Amino acid sequence: MEDLMFILMDGINFAAWLFLAAVGLTLIYGVMKILNVAHGSFYAMGAYVAASTLGFWFDNNMPPFLSYVALLVAAFVAGFIVGPIIERVLLKPQYDRDEHLILLITYGLFLILEDVLKLIWGVDPYFVSQPYELVGSFELGDMIYPSYYLLMAGLALAVGLGLMLLLNRTHFGRMLVSVIHDREISSAMGINVGRMFAITFGLGVSLAALAGAFTAPTVSVTPGMGVEVIVLSFAVVVTGGLGSLPGVALAAVMMGIVRAICVFYAPELELFVIYSIMALVLTFRPRGLFSIAEARKI
């Protein structure tokens, strides 16, 4: 029984991180049909921006608990500056081209951004653990867990609910759903599809940066930290169904909990269990758990 509690706690913590890391990727694909290989670099960008922000914040004795707000603001500011610029300059001219070309462009962008991050922040690692330590810890059985895990889970829940509300309850969200289903009809109906793409890309980049920003206090921010995230994010997104928010959430929870079970009882399986889940799901549901139904065009 105690083991079950620990597995759930660790599983949900990992699931929250997976969801935050992957949700921006599925949003961009859902709206723009772009598999953004540079997603990991935006995650890393968020982590570095967080490191700089927190360094400034605590060096200047700003209110410690407002550092979480600073992280949120820093991630979204960075995302909405970088995202739309990249979308307008690099991606927009290619929308009429083959989607494989856009994939390659995002791969090139990933390579460029890895070096840009090194140019700006160097190769030295940064660690900014104050937000991680600030909220203390709690006991679960005879195990101590950092309360930061609950904060991450809460953030993932808030992001998920926020996106669902945005898509289903706002005017902007309804326009976005329309673009998701058919951009030609949406354009014919007067929706500025180009602007929707720019905003969506900015939002997707911001969500990736947000994941990196809130991960930064728990790790050492080092070059190359985005590479691992791309692979995992793809696995989660593909398992959940490209473009599906509920799919990403369910896939993240499944993978988090199964991975925690393996770590406890069969650590040698942990390395590939996430990809095994992906393979198993795709075997029976090739479009993922919750793929968006697409009308066949004649």
Partner 1 sequence: MKLRRALIASAVASAAVGMLPAQALADNHGGEVKIGIVTFLSGAAASPFGVPARNAAEMLIQAFNSGKAPAPYNTKGFGGMKITPVIIDEAGSGTNTVTEYRNLVQREKVDLVVGYVSSGNCLAVAPVADELKTVTYLFDCGTPRIFEESPKQFAFRSTNHAAADNVGAALYLKSIGLKAKSFSGINQNYAWGQDSWADFERSMKVYYPKAEVGTSQMPKLFAGQYSAEISALLRSKADVVHSSLWGGDLEAFILQAVPRGLFKRSTVVLTAGEPAMFRMADKIPDGTIIGARGPFGLAAPDTELNRWFRSQYSDRYNTPPTYPSYHMAHGIMAAKMAYERAMKANGGKKPTSEQLAAATRGMTFEGPGGSAKFALSGGQQAVGDYAYGQFKKVNGKPTITNIKRFTVDQIMPPDGVKTADWINSGFKAK
Which C-beta is closer to partner 1: that of 99 or that of 133?
133
Q: What DSSP character marks residue 77? A: H
Tokens of 293: 């139904």
Torsion of CA 244, 246, 249, 252, to 10 degrees: -60
Nearest alpha-carbon partner for 164 in 245, 233, 238:
245
Instruction: Report, in Å, the least distance between residue 124 CB and partner 1.
Output: 5
Please tell me the distance from the alpha carbon of residue 284 to that of residue 85, in angstroms, as a whole number.
Answer: 39
Angle between helices 225-240 and 2-32 in degrees, nearest 10: 80
Instruction: Report, in Å, the least distance between residue 81 CB and partner 1.
Output: 26
Q: CA gyration radius for the chain? A: 19
Which C-beta is closer to partner 1: that of 18 or that of 25?
18
Nearest alpha-carbon partner for 43 in 202, 207, 203, 156:
207
Q: Which residues bind partner 1 (CB under 8 A)?
A: 3, 6-7, 9-11, 13-14, 17, 118, 123-125, 127, 129, 132-133, 137, 143-146, 149, 215, 218-225, 227-228, 259-260, 263-264, 267-268, 270-271
Please tell me the distance from the alpha carbon of residue 223 to that of residue 275, in angstroms, as a whole number.
Answer: 24
Which C-beta is closer to partner 1: that of 65 or that of 172?
65
Instruction: Report, in Å, the least distance between residue 226 CB and partner 1.
Output: 10
Which C-beta is closer to partner 1: that of 132 or that of 201?
132
Is residue 97 a contact partner of residue 90, using CB atoms and an 8 Å limit? no
Which C-beta is closer to partner 1: that of 32 or that of 50?
50
Instruction: Report, in Å, the least distance between residue 7 CB and partner 1.
Output: 8
Which C-beta is closer to partner 1: that of 166 or that of 219?
219
Tokens of 3: 């083991």
Instruction: Report, in Å, the least distance between residue 257 CB and partner 1.
Output: 10
Instruction: Report, in Å, the least distance between residue 217 CB and partner 1.
Output: 8
